[in-house]
Amino acid sequence: MTESIAAAWFGDEIGTELVDVTSDLSALEGSGRWAVMVTFEGDVTCARFTNWRKGGPSDVAGHWLGPKPAAYETTMARARYVEVVEGVRDLIAQGQVYQVNVCRRLSAPMPDACATDVAGLAALLGKGNPAPFAGGIQLPEHGIHVASASPELFIRRDDRVVESGPIKGTGSTVEDLSAKDEAENVMIVDLVRNDLGAVCETGSVSVPSLLATEHHPSMVHLVSTVRGVLRPNATWPDLFAASFPPGSVSGAPKSSALKAIHALESTPRGPYCGAIGWVDADTQQAELAVGIRTFWLSDPMTQPMLNFGTGAGITWGSDSQAEWDETELKAAHLIEVASGEWSL
């Protein structure tokens, strides 16, 4: 495998000179600026870098050669995905859940073990799929190689003010967005309001924006904003305990949806649908994205595999074939970009 430099990049800044790695979220109550990744299953990696500067992944990018789009295999083929969607609709009919996010993983072997630097992948994504919360972390000694083109805000923090931007509702064009998309978005907004309410001052949680339309490469989304003021004694572990995993990629009620996901999905999601971003412990400012539109390498030292997750939110109003099509839409362009075959 190619030699990669330990680094993290978010927005227009890059962090190098790694000094500490921990799985303890309480480290974010201390000092320094940290890159943070939490898998959907709750595995935490906090990496403190001492050199943060203007820049991006191209500053440290090594060789990258991605798999061809046809090389990917999925954990759920169309027939199985449709079956799972109908299973969720049965759970809704029984009153066990209102909404469940159903996901599948696409995986392909890397064609060249000497061209696996995810900073190089991130540089490609920045050109072919610019995203408001793009970022990545590579920690070669810890087996972490993640590049994200996330369009979704999980948590932004400015001292005690916290904000989340759940996305629910996806289409190729604005005309594709439906009443089902709007209802799903409102449902998840209520869930996020409840999550933040557990750690925010009573009466401080608000919804400054509801059902805004955002345009992204190859698709459009409905996005809302939920904001609150943390209680004075609320810590980072408290905030994660209340709000993780993100409501938009789990479902409602969250506890019941997570049970359904565990039963219906055949493989762990890993970095996909988790959280990825940065936290400045000195100023208590932070920006963490939902880990969607995210690539990661597994088995990097033996048989490097590139992974990508895609999914859709299932409600009673879902059409199972249309939900499969949505997962295809979310994956197609990014996988083409990652292969290196995409061009302006």
Nearest to 227 by CA among 241, 206, 244, 211: 206
Q: How confident is the model at residue 341 (pLDDT cuts 50, 70, 90)?
A: confident
pLDDT computed for residue 2 by the predictor: 58
pLDDT computed for residue 343 by the predictor: 60
* Residue 17 phi, psi (nearest 5): 65, 70
> Does residue 185 contact residue 213 with C-beta atoms inside 8 Å?
no
The CATH number of the structural domain formed by 7-339 is 3.60.120.10
Q: Which whole-number Å values give the CA distances from 223 to 116, 166, 283, in the listed order?
A: 33, 6, 28
Average pLDDT of span 189-209: 97
Helix axes 78-93, 320-339, angle to 10 degrees: 140
Task: Report d(CA 196, CA 177) in Å as an integer.
Answer: 27
Share of the chain above pLDDT 70, in %: 98
pLDDT computed for residue 319 by the predictor: 95
User: What are the sequence ranges of the domains in the chain?
Assistant: 7-339
pLDDT tens-digit map of 71-88: 999 999 999 999 999 999
Mean pLDDT, all residues of the chain: 95
pLDDT computed for residue 299 by the predictor: 79
Strands 13-22 and 44-54: antiparallel
pLDDT tens-digit map of 128-149: 999 999 999 999 999 999 999 9
Global pTM? 0.95
pLDDT tens-digit map of 230-245: 999 999 999 999 999 9
pLDDT computed for residue 152 by the predictor: 97
Total Cβ atoms within 10 A of residue 218: 13
